[in-house]
Chains A and B, each alone.
Chain A
Amino acid sequence: MVTALPAIVTISNELGTPRTPTLRETMRAARKPVVVWKASDVGLEAGAVGAAGSRTVRTRLFAPVKDSRCEMIEATTPEAQGVKLAQRLREAKVL
């Protein structure tokens, strides 16, 4: 696809390989200035940012209950395990 700039694109992890920084690069990065903008610096009211400015209200945070009983298929050979798994999947109406 082609489009004019400015544009926002999202990329997947197929694109490029991250490079490992050398010690010198890490040292140089540590000396770079980090600019911090407050809401007022970008023309926003305090109430327009953070939790107060969010359109989203979280009402609940919970760990889903897991039905974590795993039935282990045991048999004398791996081939027999494969056959038994097929039978169990049929009995459980999965297949």
Chain B
Amino acid sequence: MSALVIIEWVNGKPAAASLEHLGAARRLALPGPVVALLLGAGPAAAEILIAHGADKIYVGTAAEYADYNSDIWVDSAACVARESGAALIVAAHTPQGADLAPRLAFRLQAGCATGCVNIENRDGALHFTRPCYGGNVRETVRFNTAVAVATLRAGTCDALPADVSRYGEIIDLGAAPATRIRRVELRREAAGAQRLEEARAIVAGGRGLNGPEGFKVLQPLAEVLGGAMGASRVPCDLGWCSHAMQIGLTGKTVTPDLYIAVGISGASHHLAGCGNAKTIVAINTDADAAIFRDAKFGVVGDYAKVVPALTAAIKALPPLQ
């Protein structure tokens, strides 16, 4: 009855969400250990996972583990899940996790809940809560299977503080399993772009930007916040910005501390991707825009004037004590 957390390893460190998931796994207090699967990083990297709550770490260091591969990840995760007697397997709610979870669940004859915002251990069963119907409603589900697979959204639970005195076991997986998928080309998205899923602040633009130039107005604000740029569906479809920036039901799901929606009306399809942000700020010329119902702060006005003034004012703020 262990809990297995599939770690996402990004730019030489575990994704913040993966550390949160180790914390979530510990808090569920299943009878067994908290197990982590770390593919594509060395055993030394496992120490940080132990410090954040993992008891046992399976590490895949073979060259084939360097990048995500559906076949290899599913095989390895299924093998580790069986060996460690996992009752719960948690992956991050990212394109990679959403690819892995259903295949893994099918392989293990397990139930599967993607996009969860909470997992609870109550009345002897695991309960999974997630947004449904385009984010307007939430549902809680449980499974009548021995094993459950879930993807958990970033920013929905807290990581445990690092405790370097913790002890853990590290097991090397050895050679990678076979795959039927071969990568022929790898192209990077715009260099230096921050992963939207990891960004603590996001400035997103919508139809109300009135053209691709609008993103140039948002860029300095994103920079001063140390955040990333996003978009609703319309500007992506119109070619004003990259589809990789799309946030919403058909785009990415983000949970930053601060989400600034500029010229975004706030359709439920967009809010499905950003509604769990801690603070939403809306800037829109339409005082009746739906986004103001979800926002904590609202500005009715022309973004082309409001945003540069906001950017300059943030730059001028005295540093926090």
Binding site for B on A (CB under 8 A): 1-4, 12-14, 55-64, 66-73, 77-83, 85-90, 92, 94-95
Residue pairs across A and B with Cβ atoms less than 8 A apart, 12 shown, are: A1-B184, A2-B181, A12-B250, A55-B143, A62-B137, A64-B131, A82-B313, A83-B310, A85-B281, A86-B310, A90-B317, A94-B258
Binding site for A on B (CB under 8 A): 110-113, 127, 129, 131-132, 136-145, 180-184, 225, 237, 243, 250, 257-258, 278-279, 281-282, 292-302, 305-314, 316-317
Known: A68-B293, A72-B299. A95 touches B309 (CB 8 A): no
Q: Report B116 CB to chain A, min CB distance, Å.
A: 12
Q: Does B306 contact A81, Cβ atoms closer than 8 Å?
A: yes
Determine the chain A residues whose CB is within 8 A of the CB of B296 once the complex forms.
67, 69-71, 92
Q: How many contacts A-B (CB < 8 Å)?
A: 139
Q: Does A63 contact B281, Cβ atoms closer than 8 Å?
A: no
| Docked pose: A59 CA to B138 CA in angstroms | 11
Given A64-B137, A82-B305, A95-B317; 15 other pairs, CB 8 A cutoff? A2-B181, A12-B250, A13-B237, A62-B139, A63-B136, A67-B296, A80-B309, A81-B301, A82-B306, A85-B297, A85-B310, A85-B313, A89-B258, A92-B279, A94-B278
Interface of B is mostly: mixed
Q: Does A72 contact B300, Cβ atoms closer than 8 Å?
A: yes
Q: Does A3 contact B180, Cβ atoms closer than 8 Å?
A: yes
The 4 closest A-B pairs by CB, nearest first: A82-B309, A86-B313, A78-B305, A82-B310
Q: Does B306 contact A78, Cβ atoms closer than 8 Å?
A: yes
Nearest A residue to B287 via CB reads: A72
Q: Does A57 contact B180, Cβ atoms closer than 8 Å?
A: no
| Docked pose: A62 CA to B85 CA in angstroms | 33
Q: Does A73 contact B184, Cβ atoms closer than 8 Å?
A: no
Determine the chain B residues whose CB is within 8 A of the CB of A1 once the complex forms.
181-184
Q: Does A70 contact B111, Cβ atoms closer than 8 Å?
A: no
Known: A59-B141, A71-B297, A83-B313. A94 touches B306 (CB 8 A): no
| Docked pose: A58 CA to B127 CA in angstroms | 9
State which of B136, B181, B292 has its C-beta within 8 Å of the C-beta of A70: B292
Q: Does A87 contact B309, Cβ atoms closer than 8 Å?
A: no
Nearest A residue to B317 via CB reads: A90
